């Protein structure tokens, strides 16, 4: 079996995917038109040309502008359903998607409009493709903790539909410590916790996410390698890193995919996973991330299989389902 055949065949879980980041230019155009919302682009080609980023913030500015055409439940349904079709093509059998409630509620779109659209699409995705899913709502870290508390309270009627809370948006200057109290409260409500840390921010932010927010996974975490003690901890405790190679490349976290530390961390024993982050903006969904990373780093078939198995280990699936998928991965090369 060659690399491409293996990547296509392996069942995979996606654990780091912003649903707003799966908004393809074609769909953006269509929804902007039907909602009569002006966007500053004349064509799909013009949108694609604007996707030239030099850091996280230069991306976020465009990403929030794109999300502004989403107004109705049907829009969130269409967005989510389109992503699930990509999952099906890539053999992503389980996905834990992020959404950013504040990006929408701050524009006057109700929390329930957003979550109901996403939920209905996920239910249809399970019926039609057998894809299981969880929803994680992220607090925008460039906003205040008080605003995050407001979002937390708004989420309570939908508590059973949301497995956990996350932390995203502009990292540097907005450390996890800023959100300690709201994460404590979220945990009292029964939410799981994850956080973006160590994408552009220093290893100290990863320490804070672990020690102050008690997160179960670190999103990105590629700067962990700069800190030996931190590496010891994440290896010993099997704290998963949800790494997004094409995102790191497009946001200039790495200059070249060949420089990516994913394989080095995997070989040191870290529970590394591969994910697409914002695939409509960064040039590829799950399998494209696997293919380009495997090629750039000369990953062996066993390395690739291990990353797929890690994705289930790191998921919020029940143990029984985790074991089933891990076993299926194991049997593929044996
Ligand atoms: N929101 C969407 N994608 C993100 C990323 N890669 N980092 C932080 N916030 C995000
Ligand atoms: Zn992300």
**Domain boundary assignment for the chain:** 3-329
Question: Which tokens go with 202?
Answer: 């220093």
Specify whether the CB–CB gap between 285 and 90 falls below 8 A.
yes
Q: Is the beta carbon of 56 within 6 A of some atom in ligand 1?
A: yes
Rounded CA-CA distance 29/19 in Å is 17
Specify whether the CB–CB gap between 139 and 166 falls below 8 A.
yes
Q: Whose CA is closest to atom 10 on ligand 1?
A: 169
The residue-averaged pLDDT of 5-22 equals: 98
Distance 333 CA to ligand 2 centre (A): 31
Q: Is the beta carbon of 250 within 6 A of some atom in ligand 1?
A: no
Q: Residues 3-329: name the CATH superfamily.
A: Metal-dependent hydrolases (3.20.20.140)
Q: What is the mean pLDDT of the chain?
A: 97
Q: Is the beta carbon of 21 within 6 A of some atom in ligand 1?
A: yes
Distance 100 CA to ligand 1 centre (A): 10
Q: Which residues contact 97 (CB under 8 A, 6 or more apart)?
A: 14, 17, 18, 19, 80, 83, 118, 122, 133, 134, 135, 136
pLDDT digits (tens, 9 = 90+) for 25-64: 999 999 999 999 998 888 989 999 999 999 999 999 999 9
Q: What's residue 210's pLDDT? A: 98
Atom of ligand 1 nearest to the CA of 168: 9
Give the global pTM: 0.98
DSSP reduced 3-state for 13: strand
pLDDT digits (tens, 9 = 90+) for 188-243: 999 999 999 999 999 999 999 999 999 999 999 999 999 999 999 999 999 999 99
pLDDT digits (tens, 9 = 90+) for 130-182: 999 999 999 999 999 999 999 999 999 999 999 999 999 999 999 999 999 99
Q: What's residue 40's pLDDT? A: 87
Nearest ligand for residue 246 CA? 1
Distance 210 CA to ligand 2 centre (A): 17
* 199 part of the active site: yes
Question: Which tokens go with 243?
Answer: 């790494």
Q: Is the beta carbon of 247 within 6 A of some atom in ligand 1?
A: yes
Q: Is the beta carbon of 25 within 6 A of some atom in ligand 1?
A: no
């Amino acid at each position: 079996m060659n690399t491409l055949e293996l990547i296509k065949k392996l069942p995979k879980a996606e654990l780091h995917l912003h649903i707003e980041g799966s908004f393809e230019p074609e769909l953006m155009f269509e929804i902007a038109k039907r909602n009569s919302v002006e966007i500053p682009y004349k064509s799909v080609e013009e949108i694609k040309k604007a996707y030239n980023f030099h850091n996280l913030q230069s991306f976020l500015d465009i990403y929030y502008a794109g999300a502004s055409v989403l107004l109705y439940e049907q829009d969130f349904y269409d967005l989510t359903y389109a992503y699930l079709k990509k999952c099906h093509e890539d053999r992503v059998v389980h996905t834990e998607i992020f959404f950013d409630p504040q990006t929408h509620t701050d524009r006057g779109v109700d929390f329930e409009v957003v979550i109901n659209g996403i939920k209905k699409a996920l239910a249809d995705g399970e019926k039609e493709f057998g894809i299981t899913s969880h929803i994680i709502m992220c607090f925008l870290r460039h906003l205040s903790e008080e605003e995050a508390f407001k979002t937390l309270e708004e989420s309570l009627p939908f508590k059973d539909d949301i497995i956990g809370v996350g932390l995203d948006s502009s990292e540097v200057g907005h450390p996890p410590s800023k959100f300690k109290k709201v994460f404590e409260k979220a945990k009292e409500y029964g939410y799981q916790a994850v956080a973006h840390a160590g994408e552009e921010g220093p290893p100290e932010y990863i320490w804070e996410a672990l020690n102050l927010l008690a997160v179960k996974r670190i999103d990105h975490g590629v700067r962990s390698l700069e800190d030996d003690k931190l590496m010891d901890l994440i290896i010993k405790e099997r704290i998963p890193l949800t790494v997004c190679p094409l995102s790191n490349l497009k946001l200039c976290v790495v200059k070249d995919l060949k420089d990516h530390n994913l394989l080095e961390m995997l070989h040191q024993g870290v529970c590394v996973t591969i994910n697409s982050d914002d695939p409509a903006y960064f040039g590829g969904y799950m399998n494209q991330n696997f293919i380009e990373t495997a090629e750039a780093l000369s990953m062996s078939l066993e390395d690739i299989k291990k990353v797929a198995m890690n994705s289930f280990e790191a998921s919020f699936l029940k143990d029984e389902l985790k074991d089933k998928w891990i076993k299926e991965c194991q049997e593929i090369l044996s």
